[in-house]
């Protein structure tokens, strides 16, 4: 889990590029008048960007929920029952 740092919006605006680099290794919570207003998320690689998009894609999350419900209802296959050859 990434560390979290809170930064005022006025500071972010002054040096966004620097904070974006910082966001690659820690979560940056942007505050407005001392209250959380948003989060700056940086990505170290394109793979990190892809994972973020996947984890936040409502279609993917819906499909995962469907698969879990199916398994809980006893529908599905066990991995060891699948013939891969």
Average pLDDT, the chain: 89
Query: What pLDDT sits at residue 26?
Result: 92
Query: What pLDDT sits at residue 20?
Result: 92
Question: Does pLDDT of 19 surpass 90?
Answer: yes
Cα–chain center distance at 25: 13
Query: What pLDDT sits at residue 1?
Result: 58
pTM of structure: 0.60
Closest CA to 40 of 8, 63, 79, 77: 8
Tell me the per-residue pLDDT of 49-68, one tens digit each, with 9 for 90 and over.
Answer: 999 999 989 999 999 999 88
CA distance 61 to 59: 6
Question: CA distances (Å), 15 to each of 20, 31, 35, 55, 69, in order?
Answer: 9, 15, 20, 29, 46
Query: What pLDDT sits at residue 30?
Result: 96
């Amino acid at each position: 889990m990434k560390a979290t740092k809170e930064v005022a919006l006025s500071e972010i605006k002054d040096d966004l590029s620097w904070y974006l680099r910082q966001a690659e290794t820690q979560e940056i919570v942007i505050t407005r008048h001392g209250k959380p207003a948003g989060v700056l998320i940086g990505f170290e690689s394109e793979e990190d960007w892809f994972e973020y998009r996947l984890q936040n894609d409502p279609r993917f999350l819906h499909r995962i929920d469907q698969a879990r419900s199916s398994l809980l209802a006893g529908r599905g296959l066990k991995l060891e029952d699948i013939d891969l050859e």
